[in-house]
Amino acid sequence: MTQGSFQFDSRARADELDREINDLLVGRSGQWPLSKEAADILRRIQFCKGASRARTIASLSQASGLNERKIKEVVSSLVIDYGLPIAGSRVPPYGYYLAITAEEIEDAIHTLAGELRTIGRRVRALGGSHRLHELLGQIELELNEGPQEAA
């Protein structure tokens, strides 16, 4: 799934996500099968469509037995490796949810961009501007080495 293929009619998008998630869970799609942990977390958030239905990391941790760090790692993999639009809300209701509208995608990007800026300021404060520029160059190289998306 690529950003260009998003359908932002939320009902149609929710139906499309249901099909994609079911295909992943039964092994009909994805570059490789989901890990046991990824399948478990995905099952727990598959019905959390939209920011209003976000599920907290604490509740996912309690239900799955995974620690919060592992849950964050699994969610990151579901987004990066499997292309699922899982967003994290830092305002009430807190937690992870499947973004199904353009606004939810933009909110998720805005939040991540803010975190990236904060990290950049911390790198600059600790190592100076040259270290920040070095890091930004490395990030650009790494991101450009990944699979190219269709235009």
Domain assignment present for 118: no
Dihedral, 5, 149, 29, 20 alpha carbons, nearest 10: -20
**Does 148 score more than 80 pLDDT?**
no
- Cα dist from 103 to 67, 114, 121, 126, 150, whole Å: 30, 16, 27, 35, 23
Instruction: State the pLDDT confidence band at 6, using cuts at 50, 70 and 90.
Output: very low
Mind listing the pLDDT tens digit for each residue in 80-113? 999 999 999 988 889 999 999 999 999 999 999 9
Instruction: State the pLDDT confidence band at 77, using cuts at 50, 70 and 90.
Output: very high
Residue with tokens 């009619």: 9
Distance CA 61, CA 46 (A): 16
**Does 1 score more than 60 pLDDT?**
no
Domain assignment present for 45: yes
Supply the range of the domain harboring residue 69.
Answer: 3-101
Q: Looking at residue 41, what is its pLDDT? A: 98
- Indicate the number of domains in the chain: 1
Domain assignment present for 85: yes
Distance CA 19, CA 141 (A): 34
| 131: its two tokens | 């270290």
Domain assignment present for 81: yes
Amino acid in the structure at residue 151: A
For the domain that residue 11 is a member of, what is the CATH number? 1.10.10.10
Q: Looking at residue 8, what is its pLDDT? A: 56
Domain assignment present for 122: no
Domain assignment present for 75: yes
Q: Looking at residue 11, what is its pLDDT? A: 85
Instruction: State the pLDDT confidence band at 7, using cuts at 50, 70 and 90.
Output: very low
